[in-house]
Amino acid sequence: MPSTFTLVTDAQISAQALFDLSLDIDAHVSSMSQSAERAVAGVMTGQIGLGETVTWRARHFGVWWTMTSQITALDRPTQFIDQQVRGPFKTFIHEHRFEQLTTGSRMTDTVTVASPIFGSLAERLVLVPYLRGLIAKRNEHLLAALR
């Protein structure tokens, strides 16, 4: 059974600006420098759109991984979903939601992930905390880029 977690990030930045930057391949690459992540196929620079794919290559846990994601839903400027179509996970779905607030905006990331080998215990103890940390760092990077 997949594991799901949610990360909420409030910002003094418009939801539209966060939405647009969250779809930008170059911003994602910049935010993932610690894992040497890069786009190697599909949309490799600029903004990705509905139905388009990007193949990522990155080093996590000392191992090189390749994963192809597709934007499977997009409702500008409030929500989009990227989903693994080929890669290491049994399931990987990342829903991005954006709300305009009176004092800024709220970005909500909901990730559903399933390990193909190690099961729900490994997901809860290793994979979810690791991914939560990666997304938190990514969000911090995006906010810094927009300030």
Structure tokens at 107: 């970005």
Structure tokens at 90: 């049994």
Q: How far apart are the first and last CA of the chain?
A: 39
Q: Give the pLDDT score at 119.
A: 75
Report whether pLDDT(44) > 90: yes
Percent of the chain with pLDDT over 90: 87
What would the mean pLDDT of 16-27 be, rounded to a whole number?
97
Residue 119 and residue 72: Cα distance in Å, rounded? 25
Q: Is 45:24 a contact under the CB 8 Å cutoff? A: no
Residue matched to tokens 């906010």: 143
Report whether pLDDT(49) > 80: yes
pLDDT in tens, 122-145: 788 889 999 999 999 999 999 999
Least confident of 20-24, 37-41, 60-64, 105-109: 60-64
Q: What is the mean pLDDT of the chain?
A: 95
Question: Which domains occur in the chain, in start order?
Answer: 3-146 (3.30.530.20)
Q: Could you tell me the pLDDT band of residue 109, with boundaries at 50, 70 and 90?
A: very high
Report whether pLDDT(90) > 90: yes
Which residues pair with residue 114 across a beta bridge?
91
Q: Give the pLDDT score at 123.
A: 85
Q: Residues 24, 88, 53, 72: is their CA dihedral positive or negative?
A: negative
Residue 12 and residue 138: Cα distance in Å, rounded? 16
Q: Give the pLDDT score at 116.
A: 80
CA 14 from chain center: how many Å? 19
Q: Residue 137: in which H helix or E strand, if any?
A: helix 128-146
More confident residue, 19 or 119: 19
